[in-house]
Amino acid sequence: MTATATIYIVYYSTYGHIHKLAKALETGAQRVKDVDIKLFRVPETLSDEILAKIHAPPKPEEVPVIEQAGQLTDADGFLFGFPTRFGMAPAQFKAFLDSSGGIWAAGALRGKQAGLFTSSNTQHGGQETTALTTLPFLAHHGLQYVPFGYGHPALNATKEVSGGSPYGASAVAGIDGDSPTKTELEIAEAQGEYFAKQVLIRKLGEKAFAEQQ
């Protein structure tokens, strides 16, 4: 049976924190029936020599590289994830976004839906500004931004250092212990499920609307 909606989780991860969040988002989204979920990583722009010097782990071979932005036209919704770089998207993901001029000119993404997730090395490392500085890209493409809101109880908790905000799931990579934490992964799963429902609802609504015309 063909899925009603398709969601691409497209991310860049230097040290694996964003990759783990992406997998948690996938887990949550897979709870929604009739939605097909696919993970992609954007091309790496750093050389192998530089990656070795910064002790970056190997990229997960099971996750394919999205070779060109034009592939986005095959999906109904996107969850874009990347770590912060001074409160903005890193060069690797920015290069991918900047390569989307052709589909922008064609209006090929207009009306589709998008959500965001991120990570930072410190508790106040620009997680929310990274989301905010990505919104112009969504607006220029006519993408409908789907913020997570306060969709998980942990977003109101104050007893532990934790990522996650109304903008989307996130991780604080520089805290002691494993990162993302169990709480951060639970937030990511909740966002994935919520986003998948929103995309499916829109697709079903479009179908119902078309049948009435």
pLDDT band at 22 (very low <50, low <70, confident <90, very high): very high
Could you tell me where the DSSP H helices lie in 54-150? 91-98, 101-105, 127-132, 135-141
Domains and their CATH numbers in the chain: 5-212 (3.40.50.360)
DSSP letter assigned to residue 153:
G
Distances (CA, A) of 25 to 11, 30, 78: 11, 9, 11
Give the type of residue at 75: A
Residue bearing tokens 């070779």: 67
pLDDT band at 176 (very low <50, low <70, confident <90, very high): low
Q: In the predicted model, what is the mean pLDDT of residues 128-140?
A: 97
pLDDT > 70? residue 148: yes
pLDDT band at 177 (very low <50, low <70, confident <90, very high): low
**Contact status, residue 56 vs residue 16, Cβ threshold 8 Å:** no
Pairing of strands 35-41, 77-83: unpaired
pLDDT > 70? residue 1: no
Q: Is 10 exposed, middle or buried (0-12, 13-18, 19+ CB in 10 A)?
A: buried
pLDDT band at 161 (very low <50, low <70, confident <90, very high): confident
pLDDT > 80? residue 151: yes
**How many CB atoms are closer than 10 A to CB 80?**
27
Percent of the chain residues topping a pLDDT of 90 = 90
Look up residue 47 and give its two tokens: 């050389």
